Amino acid sequence: MLSKSNKTAIRDSLNSDFPFRDIQINMLCNLFLTDDGVLPPCVFIHGLPSTGKTSIATRLLYLLGKSVKSSIVNSVCCYTNQFLFEPILKDLLQIKQSELPDRCDNFMQFLNILKQSEIQQERVIILLDNCEMLGHEQIVLFTKLQELIKSYQLCVILISQVHPAKFDEDINFIPIVFEQYNNDEILFILSKDIPKNWSLSIYQNFLTVFMGSFYGSCRDLVELKHLAKVLFIKYVEPIEDGSCTEINQPLLFRKISPTIQLLLNNVYLGTSLENVNSLSDENTKFDKLALDLPYYAKYFLIAAYIASFNLPKYDKQLFVKASNKKKKSNRLVNKTENSTSQLVGPKIFSLDRLLAIFYAIIEENTNMTANLLAQVNTLSDLGLLIRLGDGKLDTPKYRCSVSFDCVNNIARTVKFNLNKYLIDK
Of these, 83, 152, 198, 359, which contacts other proteins (CB under 8 A)? Answer: 83
Q: Render 146-183 in DSSP notation, one character per residue.
A: HHHHT-TTEEEEEEESS-GGGT-TT---EEEEEPPP-H
- In the list 133, 194, 239, 388, the residue contacting other proteins (rule: CB under 8 A) is 133
Residue 372 buriedness (CB in 10 A; 0-12 / 13-18 / 19+): middle
Euclidean distance between CA atoms 11 and 20, whole angstroms: 13
Instruction: Give the C-alpha distances (Å, rounded to integers) separating 107 from 112, 140, 156.
Output: 9, 12, 15
Residue 251: CB atoms within 10 Å: 13
Dihedral angle of Cα 114, 115, 119, 120, to the nearest 10 degrees = 140
Selected from 169, 268, 336, 415, the binder of other proteins by CB under 8 A is: 268
- Please identify, using beta-carbon distances, which residue of 11 and 353 lies nearer to other proteins: 353
Amino acid identity, position 164? P
Binding mask 403-422 for other proteins (x = CB under 8 A): --------------------
Q: Which of 143, 401 has the CB closer to other proteins?
A: 401
The nearer residue to other proteins, 200 or 370, going by C-beta atoms, is 370
Q: Can you give the three-state secondary structure of 71-104, one letter per residue?
A: EEEEHHHCCCHHHHHHHHHHHHHCCCHHHCCCCC
Q: What is the DSSP letter of 416?
A: -
Span interacting with other proteins, options 113-121, 231-239, 245-253, 263-271, rule CB under 8 A: 263-271
Rule CB under 8 A: say whether 223 interacts with other proteins. Answer: yes
User: CA 290, 293, 299, 300 torsion: positive or negative?
Assistant: negative
| Candidate ranges 27-35, 109-117, 268-276, 315-323; the one touching other proteins (CB under 8 A) | 268-276
Q: Which stretch binds other proteins (CB under 8 A): 63-71, 236-244, 294-302, 341-349?
A: 294-302
Q: Determine which residue in the list 37, 294, 312, 389 makes contact with other proteins, applying CB under 8 A.
A: 294
Is residue 77 involved in binding other proteins (CB under 8 A)?
A: yes
Report if residue 287 touches other proteins, rule: CB under 8 A.
no
270 part of the interface to other proteins, by CB under 8 A: yes
Q: Restricting to residues 160-199, which ones interact with other proteins according to CB under 8 A?
A: 161
Rounded Cα distance between 294 and 316, Å, is: 28
Q: What angle do CA 287, 290, 292 make, to 5 degrees?
A: 150
Q: How far is the CB of 110 from other proteins (least distance, A)?
A: 17
Which positions lie near other proteins, rule CB under 8 A?
49, 74, 76-77, 79-80, 83, 97, 130, 133, 161, 220, 222-223, 268-272, 282, 285-286, 288-297, 352, 367-375, 378, 381-384, 392-395
